Amino acid sequence: MPLLILPLSGLSAAATDTISASITRERMILRSISPAREMPVSEPAVSWGDLLLPTQETWGLWVPVLLLALYYFGWWLINVVKPGLRMPAVVPRHDVPDGMTPGFIRYISKRRYDNVGFSGDLLDLVARQVMTYSVQARQGPSGKGGRYEKWIAPGPRERANRQSEGDKRLLGILFSGTQKRINLSVPFQKPMQDALAMLENHYGGQRDGLFKRRFGALWRGIGLLVLIPVICGIFFDAPGVWAAVLTCLLFLAGTWIIILVVNMLRAMWRRRKGPALFASLLILSALVWLGVVFMPGSLPRLPAGYYGALLSGMLIITFYMIRAPRYTQAGLDAQAVAQGLKMYLGTAEERRFETLYPPDQRITHFERMLPYALVLGVGKTWADTFARYLAENGCASKVFADASWSDIHSFGDSCHSASMSGSDDHDGGHSHHDASDSGSSDGGSDGGGD
């Protein structure tokens, strides 16, 4: 505000001094007021307690968290405690219960039927002489540089009375009409594709009896979690409802990524501890970085306790996804059998064979268990022991011309290529090399049958 300048010539000295003093005081007041007008008003600092803990006015944001905890507690009582769900004791097994085919063992271990299980089922037919497997040399056009072809064909007629209904149906699909042999060296064969599809449907039909369906409870839990931003927008902070919903979605995506990473690390830890440790440190560093970036002051201002309710709900859902059982009691019983077989086949101790089986039954036992070793990921150990036993005792297998691991692995690769469809040509998810046998596999004892 401009000062009023008055002529002072006609005034007395006292009046002049009074006016000068007033002007001086006004200038001092203006100088003291102007910086205050320009000074920004600082907002109070936001603490972690304000973000995580509710007040008496915002405790309603935690009602969905209470409902979520009660829901999963009731789910646990109904699905785990009441039926008495428990994993049986796992002991080494040197025999296979009736009806447990290699494909079934693979299905119960991996919770899906893949080309490794398909190769194991076909190899089981060969081991039981329901089907024959041979390797034949084929010469090139110039008579040199030939290649080996792998052929399968129905077994001897005298074995027909020992075939189960499943064996007859599978052989009927593979060798229908005039086709009496299949060259596994030729990819994309319709009979092999149909046989794979039939076995996938057969094992897939047993899913409800072996695995628990957990995604229904998961989606209901997510529905309860979404109530938190809804309650926030309706009762507490209507303008900030979109920020609340966006934050909830980001937290859901982060939780899902954490669950996937945890499962991946568990699988890596079973195979090799080095990469898993490196990945764990890398992820821990990333989480620390995210914690520094998303400090309390950088988060959207929402009612007190909103983020605490959201994090608590995420932790409950994550705990459910990690700890909720994947198997029914029948599935756990079958899983215990599969793990017991793997313990026995993975050691492959010749002294134990000598005490369990007489000499005339040892080769038959080796042949019978080879498909199961293949699907359990210990085929190399079992096949090498088998080949060494044959070489040391001057024996030969009646059903496998070459019992080495390289031949068995090549048989699985040939079955995979012959049963592929055109769309599966570059699909690594069903590749036979998923169980490339280095003597161990992840086993899948605690994966999900969702």
| Per-residue confidence (pLDDT) for residue 385, from 0 to 100 | 86
pLDDT-derived band at 326, boundaries 50, 70, 90: very high
Final residue belonging to a domain, choices 323, 345, 364: 323
Identify the band that residue 122 occupies on the pLDDT scale cut at 50, 70 and 90: very high
DSSP state letter for 155: -
Whether residues 8 and 33 fall in one domain: yes
pLDDT value at residue 48:
54
Report the percent of the chain where pLDDT is more than 70.
62
Average per-residue pLDDT for the chain: 76
- Cα 158 → chain centroid: 45
Q: Is residue 90 part of a domain?
A: no
pLDDT given at position 292? 44
Q: Which two tokens stand for residue 316?
A: 């409950």
Q: Do both 365 and 310 map to the same domain? A: no
SS3 state of residue 419: helix
Closest CA to 342 of 113, 118, 115, 102: 102
C-alpha span between 171 and 168 (Å, rounded): 5
Contact 297, 42 (CB under 8 A): no
CB 338 within 8 A of CB 107: no
Q: Are residues 352 and 414 in the same domain?
A: yes
Judge whether 308 lies within some domain.
yes
Over residues 347-352, mean pLDDT? 69
29: pLDDT strictly greater than 70 = no
Look at residues 323, 352, 369 and tell me which one is the last residue of a structural domain: 323
- Identity of the amino acid at 295: M
Q: Residue type at 437?
A: D
Is there a single domain that holds both residue 301 and residue 374? no
* Sheet strand arrangement including 182-183: 131-138, 147-154, 182-183
**Per-residue pLDDT for 174 more than 70?**
yes
Which of these, 296, 328, 103, 55, lies nearest to 208 by C-alpha position? 328
CA-to-CA distance for 272 and 276, rounded, in angstroms? 7
State pLDDT tens for residues 183-228.
Answer: 999 999 999 999 999 999 999 999 999 999 888 998 899 889 888 8
- Residue 450 domain flag: no
Structure tokens at 327: 């198997």
Domain membership flag for residue 448: no
User: Would the pLDDT of 359 be above 50?
Assistant: yes
Render 160-204 in DSSP notation, one character per residue: GGG--HHHHHHHHHHT-TT---EETTSSS-HHHHHHHHHHHHHHH
Q: Would 95 be classed as within a structural domain?
A: no
DSSP string, 90-107: P---SS--TT--HHHHHH
pLDDT > 50? residue 181: yes
Residue with token string 């309706």:
234
Is pTM beyond 0.75 here?
Answer: no
- DSSP tag of 89: P
The dihedral region occupied by 84, where left means phi > 0, alpha psi between -120 and 50, and beta the remainder, is: left
Question: How far apart are alpha carbons 403 and 36 in whole angstroms?
Answer: 92
Between 190-204 and 165-174, two packed helices, what is the crossing angle to 10 degrees? 150
Residue predicted with more confidence, 391 or 431 = 391
Question: Quick one: which H or E segment has residue 154?
Answer: strand 147-154
Q: Are residues 224 and 151 in the same domain?
A: no
CA pseudo-torsion sign 214, 218, 221, 223: negative
Distance CA 265, CA 268 (A): 5
Does residue 446 form part of some domain?
A: no
Q: Which domain holds residue 230?
A: 48-84+215-323
Q: Is residue 371 part of a domain?
A: yes
Number of domains observed in the structure of the chain: 3
Give the model's confidence band at 74: pLDDT under 50 very low, under 70 low, under 90 confident, else very high: very high
| Whether residues 121 and 167 fall in one domain | yes
- Domain assignment present for 199: yes
Could you tell me the two tokens for 419?
């049963």
Q: Across-strand partners of 74? A: none
Per-residue pLDDT, averaged over 229-249, amounts to 67
With CA atoms as reference, report the closest residue to 66 among 214, 218, 255, 221. 221
Q: Report the sign of the C-alpha dihedral through residues 227, 230, 232, 236, in that order.
A: negative
Lowest average pLDDT, out of 223-232, 272-281, 320-329, goes to 272-281
Supply the pLDDT for residue 57. Answer: 74
d(CA 22, CA 30): 12
36 and 107: one domain?
A: no
Mean pLDDT of 393-418: 85
* CB contact set of 372 (below 8 Å; sequence gap of 6+): 96, 102, 105, 120, 341, 345
